[in-house]
Amino acid sequence: MTAAEENTTVKRDTRDEQGGTPAEPAAGTKRARLIGGPGILLVWLYGVMVVGAVSRSAVQISTQFDEAPLAYSLSAVAGLVYGFITYSLVRGGETARRAALVCCAAELAGVLVVGTWTLAEPSAFPDATVWSDYGMGYLFIPVLLPLSAMYWLRKARTTAG
């Protein structure tokens, strides 16, 4: 099966025997796969980012929250966003694709805002966040990942539609 075939939504005719209204339309629907091809790499990378951001923020919030509460809270938010995107990619379907697309756009906005803020006002962040300096501490993955994911998610819609 090709990647294009995997990304299509297949619907079965669910009309009742008299040819009337559809009976249980959800039962005959197959979710569009979002983790075929490059989507698998995206799930893996987002999974790594979830572990990194959540574990880092959990340790920092529990041990030294008073030193940089904004930075540590933003890292926790980043981890939650990464987790939701990972879940949406694995879940599949049009609704999950749209939700992941919105979250990726919000993630990109967060990276750009926080990255610019950390450069313009370094004193506001006594310690780094996942998104500080556009994700430099994470090899710029936080700025490249949402761009790649948004491209993939838009392509998945084009393929499915």
Percent of the chain with pLDDT over 90: 60
Is the whole model's pTM more than 0.85, yes or no? no
Domain boundaries, the chain: 35-160
Mean pLDDT of the chain: 82
Task: Dump pLDDT digits (tens) for 92-114.
Answer: 889 999 999 999 999 999 999 99
Q: Which of 139, 121, 125, 114 is nearest to 45 (CA)?
A: 139
Task: Dump pLDDT digits (tens) for 113-154.
Answer: 999 999 999 988 889 888 999 999 889 999 999 999 999 999
Tell me how crowded residue 1 is: count the other CB atoms within 10 A of its CB. Answer: 7
DSSP for 114-159, written as a single string: HHHHHHH-GGG-SS--TTGGGGGGGTTHHHHHHHHHHHHHHHHHHH
Tell me how crowded residue 42 is: count the other CB atoms within 10 A of its CB. Answer: 23
Q: Would you say residue 70 has pLDDT above 80?
A: yes
Q: Please give the DSSP secondary-structure letter assigned to residue 11.
A: B
Structure tokens that stand for 125 in this block: 């962040």
